[in-house]
């Protein structure tokens, strides 16, 4: 008897991740709950972080790279006076300091940490060094020296000071910014040491806490399934194309859509709905749409409009038995 592979389910579930489990733990739990064939997540949250964790099923996994690259927002609490091996509560104390900065001292250092900066990642991170994970090396007593990496930090806002030992910040940033490193660097710039004691992601691309469900709001008990509700999902999903709403839309005809899905290129001048003249550069990405339906993403390469990442295939147009060896689908040229 063959192994059951799961159901073809497409869409996004936005989880309000609890403290404790890893992001992969939550993907595996929900893939099992939904009996889904394919699932992944749109940006790792540490075990001691909570908040917005976008989980993709089926076609939605094709849009994960765009969520990974998207702008994110966080709220964290920085505790002054102790630096830790992991730059959060989980690690051992490395150093202490009696210095506690004033609000004015904190505000004075934030501009230098904002914008396009160089940031040293935490030693306990998933970065690879010579083929090994940095956190594995650190746990083995061989913490690597990680070089600074470019980071984009759009804004850092001091929200409140619950007491002299702590400060709460809101941060908007780009891809790959470590909040643990930012907290560490704020403390150091203030002439003290510190670590993150609370971290919560409040927004990831188009998804925020308003979209998020807690694990308790998702039906995980399969014992309640019956013949009548066996196909029901444990929670409603957002459309797979929801991840792309921040990308400009391009209306295409059925004929143009077929060409893109079949991997054929189009002269932008031949489009029924032309691209704006100011937006025909090769750094622009478009949502190809027929009516209200998103076919996928396209871009201009070598002067022609081509598929970048398609959500739909030939079956959307009622075409079957396509030989993809002769008709490449959604290919970058």
In 3-state terms, the chain is what percent helix, strand and coil (to 5)?
A: 25, 35, 40
Average pLDDT, stretch 200-211? 96
The pLDDT value given to residue 280 = 61
Q: What is the CATH number of domain 11-70+207-240?
A: 3.30.2350.10
Q: Flag whether pLDDT at 279 surpasses 80.
A: no
Q: Identify the pLDDT of residue 5.
A: 77
Q: For all residues of the chain together, what is the average pLDDT?
A: 88
Q: Extract the tokens encoding 116.
A: 């396009």
Per-residue pLDDT at 330 exceeds 50: no
pLDDT at res. 316: 82
Q: How far is CA 264 from CA 247, 249, 257, 287, 307, in A?
A: 22, 19, 10, 16, 8
Section 116-127 average pLDDT? 88
Query: Which has more confidence, 227 or 26?
Result: 26
CATH architecture of 247-317: Roll (2.30)
Distance CA(271)–CA(250), nearest Å, equals 10
Residue 330 near residue 263, CB atoms below 8 Å: yes
pLDDT over threshold 50, residue 96:
yes
Question: Does residue 130 register a pLDDT over 60?
Answer: yes
pLDDT top residue among 197 and 133: 197
Average pLDDT estimate for 96-114? 98
- Residue 267's pLDDT is 92
pLDDT at 332: 40
Instruction: Decide whether 11-70+207-240 matches 72-204 in CATH topology.
Output: yes
- Active site amino acids: 46
Q: Where are the domains of the chain?
A: 11-70+207-240, 72-204, 247-317
Question: Distance between CA atoms of 331 and 312, rounded to whole angstroms?
Answer: 13
* pLDDT at residue 171, as a whole number: 98
- Averaged over 11-22, what is the pLDDT? 95
Q: Which fold has domain 72-204?
A: Pseudouridine synthase (3.30.2350)
Look at residue 227 in the predicted model and tell me its pLDDT: 45
**Per-residue pLDDT band at 4 (split at 50, 70, 90):** low
Rg from Cα positions in the chain: 23
pLDDT computed for residue 314 by the predictor: 81
Of 206-210, 224-228, 301-305, give the range with the top mean pLDDT.
206-210
Per-residue buried b or exposed e for 282-311, using 16+ beta carbons within 10 Å of the residue's own CB: eebbbbbbbeeebbbbbbbeeeebbbbbbb
What pLDDT, in 10s, does the model give residues 32-74? 999 999 999 998 898 889 999 999 999 999 999 999 999 999 9
- pLDDT tens per residue across span 145-186: 888 999 999 999 999 999 999 999 999 999 889 999 999 999
Q: Whole-angstrom Cα distance, residue 280 to residue 302?
A: 11
Where does the pLDDT of residue 320 fall: very low under 50, low under 70, confident under 90, or very high at 90 and above? low
> Does pLDDT of 237 surpass 70?
yes
Interatomic CA distance for residues 97 and 177, integer angstroms: 26
Confidence of residue 329 (pLDDT cuts 50, 70, 90): very low
Nearest to 127 by CA among 114, 112, 137: 137
């Amino acid at each position: 008897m063959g192994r059951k592979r799961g159901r073809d389910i497409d869409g996004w579930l936005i989880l309000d991740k609890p403290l404790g489990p890893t992001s992969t733990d939550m993907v595996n739990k929900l893939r099992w709950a939904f009996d889904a064939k394919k699932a992944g997540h749109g940006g790792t949250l540490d075990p001691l972080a909570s908040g917005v964790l976008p989980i993709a099923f089926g076609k939605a996994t094709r849009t994960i790279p765009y969520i990974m690259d998207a702008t994110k927002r966080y709220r964290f609490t920085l505790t002054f006076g102790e630096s830790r091996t992991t730059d959060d509560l989980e690690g051992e104390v490395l150093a202490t300091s009696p210095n506690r900065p004033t609000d004015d001292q904190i505000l004075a250092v934030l501009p230098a940490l904002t914008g396009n900066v160089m940031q040293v990642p935490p030693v306990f991170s998933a970065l690879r060094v010579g083929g090994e994970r940095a956190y594995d090396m650190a746990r083995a007593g061989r913490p690597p020296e990680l070089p600074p990496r470019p980071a984009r930090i759009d804004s850092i806002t001091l929200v409140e000071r619950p007491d002299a030992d702590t400060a709460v910040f809101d941060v908007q940033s780009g891809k790959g910014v470590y909040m643990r490193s930012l907290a560490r660097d704020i403390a150091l710039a203030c002439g003290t040491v510190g670590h993150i004691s609370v971290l919560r992601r409040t927004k990831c691309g188009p998804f925020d806490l308003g979209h998020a469900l807690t694990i308790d709001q998702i039906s995980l008990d399969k014992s309640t399934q019956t013949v009548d509700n066996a196909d029901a999902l444990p929670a409603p999903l957002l459309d797979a194309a929801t991840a792309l709403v921040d990308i400009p839309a391009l209306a295409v005809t059925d004929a143009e859509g077929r060409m893109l899905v079949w991997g054929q290129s189009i002269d932008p001048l031949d489009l029924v709905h032309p691209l704006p003249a100011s937006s025909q550069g090769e750094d622009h990405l478009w949502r190809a749409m027929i009516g209200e339906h998103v076919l996928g993403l396209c871009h201009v390469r070598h002067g022609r409009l081509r598929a970048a990442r398609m959500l739909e295939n030939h079956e959307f147009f009622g075409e079957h038995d396509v030989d993809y060896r002769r008709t490449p689908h959604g290919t970058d040229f």
